Amino acid sequence: MADLIGLAIVFFILALIATVLGARGVAGLSMDIAKWLVIIFIVLAIISLIL
């Protein structure tokens, strides 16, 4: 599961860099991917705590 958080951080940093460089489409897509990776991580973490 640590890989999901790592990927989310990478996509978040990519989105920040793309925003600074003015590529709003890439930034938005990267933020969407990062958001979904964090959501998946949280769901898997809750499931693993329950089981």
Q: What is the pLDDT of residues 2-50, one digit of tens each?
A: 677 788 888 888 888 888 888 778 778 888 888 888 888 889 888 888 9
| pLDDT of the residue at 1 | 58
Q: What is the pLDDT of residues 39-50, one digit of tens each?
A: 888 898 888 889
The string of DSSP letters for 7-46 reads: HHHHHHHHHHHHHHHT-HHHHHHHHHHHHHHHHHHHHHHH
| pLDDT of the residue at 30 | 81
The CA distance from 42 to 45, in Å, is 5
The CA distance from 46 to 28, in Å, is 27
47 membership: H or E segment, kind and range: helix 24-50
